[in-house]
Amino acid sequence: MRRMAFQNDRRTFLRGGAIAAVAAYSSSFDVFAGAATPENPPFPIKLGVASYSLRKFDRKQVIDSVQQLKISFLNVKDIHLPMGTPEEIKRDAAEFTAAGLKLTAAGTIYFLKDEDADVKSKFEYCKLAGIPTIVAGPTMETLPRVEKFAKEYDIKIAIHNHGPEDKHFPSPLDVLKAVKNMDRRMGLCIDVGHSVRAGTNVIQAIHQAGPRLFDVHIKDLADQKVKESQVAVGDGTLPIPGIFEALAKIGYQGYVDLEYEIHPDDPMPGILQSFAYMRGVLAGLGSAKGGK
């Protein structure tokens, strides 16, 4: 009972610290990792957002929302950047870059057909949009063909694990096993929520992934076995500070993208709360490391 009380007190402290940190620095978000102009962040983590979190909104609304978050980094879903003609792809991608947003990844993009034309078209889409990483959902059968085009296009493949329901890659450890002898461009997108639902120790998985980790989708769960129990980051049971610390320890160079899958018609309150908590945690960790 005393241990549980300590954990609850610590979580309350961190959440309160998060909100206080955002209030204190509301006029200068550049001190936070992932801000629009991240110079000397207090902790070396770059925060982004998965546009799937805003799936009920159009491209302009997504851009406006991400700017409101003071975030530069976007993992874009094809509902916001459709796989149209080359001219359309370039034009639509340019809307994001003109607004000061960096398209860090596309996806999740699924590779379900073991055919050159299908796989190549998706790599060509990312090349035209200037996107360096594909958050991918391949099968074991399509994986060698995906590797072939990853080398040809010099685009990273971050295979996204989807938890117990995923027949191919439920855990990031399944991804690691599949790519360990493949090209260096073949790696992981660890979804922390799906990972814990698959029974994986996500902090250990980050350490095991090391340089194969290209992207992280972050969320929080009230019940680590229940997909539908997602809550705002900081309100659940996932070890968010420990996840950030593990990423820093492996020298992670990628992005931590919030994937907020609940309240699709009105996601911004929960998204704002999630970023407030994460920024507060990063500020606290930076202070503990001697950061400003």
Topology given in CATH for the domain delimited by 2-288: TIM Barrel (3.20.20)
CA distance 152 to 107: 19
What ranges do the domains of the chain cover?
Answer: 2-288
Q: What is the DSSP letter of 201?
A: -
- Report the pLDDT value the prediction gives residue 40, as an integer from 0 to 100: 43
Closest by Cα among 283, 271, 231 to 66:
271
Q: Strand 73-76 relative to strand 156-160: parallel, antiparallel, unpaired? A: unpaired
Any idea how long the chain is? 292
- Report the pLDDT value the prediction gives residue 287, as an integer from 0 to 100: 63
CA distance 213 to 250: 10
Q: Which residues pair with 177 in a beta bridge?
A: none
Sequential pLDDT tens for the chain (292 residues): 333 333 344 344 344 444 443 433 333 333 344 443 443 445 789 999 999 999 999 999 999 999 999 999 999 999 999 999 999 999 999 999 999 999 999 999 999 999 999 999 999 999 999 999 999 999 999 999 999 999 999 999 999 999 999 999 999 999 999 999 999 999 999 999 999 999 999 999 999 999 999 999 999 999 999 999 999 999 999 999 999 999 999 999 999 999 999 999 999 999 999 999 999 999 988 866 644 3
- Report the pLDDT value the prediction gives residue 249, as an integer from 0 to 100: 94
Residue type, 112: L
- Report the pLDDT value the prediction gives residue 288, as an integer from 0 to 100: 63
Closest by Cα among 100, 126, 122, 99 to 112:
122
On the question of a cis peptide bond just before residue 133, with omega within 30 degrees of 0, the verdict is no
- Quote the pTM value: 0.85
Residue type, 231: V
**Cβ burial, residue 170 (10 Å; 0-12/13-18/19+):** buried
| Residue 154: both structure tokens together | 């010099």
